[in-house]
Structure 1
């Protein structure tokens, strides 16, 4: 792992499951990390990990050469950067904003243009890999921005990611590629839920079904990662239903502007909307399987201790 100089400071705005994992990795890499989140318990957790809690986005940005933004939406990113007590006026000129939130490509472009007028650089750098990837420093980063921004952010990116893709010299391309990833991820989760529910309704044992499909052509990374949540009935949110309501909504918005049909993404979005409407929005995204369970009167969940012993 590349190690930062002990004096190198990075601000982090957004200490949710992903942002906290990334912040801890940066602390471990030798950065002086000052973070802000609207939840006091998140800032206390950062302080316990060796970082410093900030009282506002502006305080997080003060004296920082890099500012990592990992919030939920473009609106939150706008507020964190340019709102009252926002980060940008306090951020030293020449500093790089690493925008790792999933936002529309147009928003990333607009943020880059606006930051250029204030003397700052933007790296459009959304991530994939989930909470486990954030905590282990094994994220995939889909980034676009100027060579200067990449050079300044190189050590920080190496601390949190296993792969960093340089997709272009301007913001927007990174967010476009992330939209493609989220389209596939959402469709794969929805398909995994539908397939497992279908198999159980037809009489298959859910754990055996999972084992067989995991070693067959119908498997996917999402199938192997999310179906265990369904089998255990564990819907502690690693990534929530509401995240895919938002992300697939962004995908469909972009497609509508392009006049490009996305029937599979649209159907998957409807499933996530159904789950949110049923009160499951804050549960793990694998909870979309509960829609099928309720419709068919079945249970996909089968804790390991209830499974039949194998001969």
Structure 2
């Protein structure tokens, strides 16, 4: 069955390539001409609007939304030429961005009023893992909805994790994960900035960390690139800035005030303010090496 994509950036584009390679018909709507050409090269067809993209869906087809935030999700669905006008009962919206749980619940509720199912399906792991099928896909929806879309979910990822039947729990789980990812990344950057201040070789230090108790996947992934000076954006600073901010807000919403999350969120905010918004979040190492106070 045809799958429609709204958004074919780093993550969405990787998923488009994966599905096309597996023989799925894919229709892509993206405003970026470069992303459009990449989707065409992968074997997808192009749609000018979200509405025209979902016009190609079958009776149980899916619209996969892979944009940045809740406002963009709402625009895809209910903006000018939005997809909701063309969606029919039996079809499903797969909601992949990292957004606040209350936004996920509100979007799903609005779709439900139209008879449209929604799968709360945030993802984690980066573009290469998405392309290889190794990303984490955290899904929350009624079991019957997940069963109807099981083949699509399996095609998107080899690591589909059913969180619950309550839409919003995928978003909650993703925020918990990304809060820890942000804390780990800030910690790794701080540790290597300290290593540099001590006169240690950063590559050797990271080799040790990776074989010791300080290891984290995101720390190794980002700090290797940072040491090499490779700040081409796979995940912009603004993404974890957004995600950690949302996670801290969600924590406060349930009366939880942890000792580390708000501090990590502030570091991403400061890096943004320092002009690093459009760089890969590996830029945190350079940011902390520049700004850490001297003894």
**Bin for the TM-score computed over the shorter chain:** over 0.9
Indicate the SS of the match to 1:263: coil
Matches within 5 A, 1:113-192: 113-192=109-188
Kindly indicate whether residue 30 of structure 2 is the aligned counterpart of residue 37 of structure 1: yes
1:61: which partner in 2? 54
Ranges in structure 2 where 5+ consecutive residues have no aligned partner: none
Task: Check the 8 A contact 1:201/1:296 in 2, yes or no.
Answer: no
Task: Check the 8 A contact 1:126/1:142 in 2, yes or no.
Answer: yes
Indicate the SS of the match to 2:246: helix
RMSD: 1.4
Which stretches of structure 1, 4 residues or longer, exceed 3 Å deviation after superposition?
none
| C-alpha deviation, 1:86, in angstroms | 0.5
Match for residue 275 of structure 1 among 266, 271, 277: 271
Task: Check the 8 A contact 1:248/1:265 in 2, yes or no.
Answer: yes
1:97: which partner in 2? 93
| C-alpha deviation, 1:193, in angstroms | 0.3
Separation (CA, whole Å) in 1 of partners of 2:241 and 2:284 = 11
Separation (CA, whole Å) in 2 of partners of 1:166 and 1:219 = 27
Separation (CA, whole Å) in 1 of partners of 2:113 and 2:90 = 11
Per-residue deviation, residues 137-196 of structure 1 (Å, max 9, x unmatched):
111111100122212221111112121111111210111100110001000110000000
2:287: which partner in 1? 291
Instruction: Give the TM-score of the pair, scaled to structure 1.
Output: 0.91
Ranges in structure 1 where 5+ consecutive residues have no aligned partner: 1-7, 299-311
Task: Check the 8 A contact 2:223/2:285 in 1, yes or no.
Answer: no
Per-residue deviation, residues 235-257 of structure 1 (Å, max 9, x unmatched):
01111100011111111111121
Instruction: Give the TM-score of the pair, scaled to structure 2.
Output: 0.96
1:305: which partner in 2? none
Separation (CA, whole Å) in 1 of partners of 2:104 and 2:291 = 40
Kindly indicate whether residue 16 of structure 2 is the aligned counterpart of residue 20 of structure 1: no
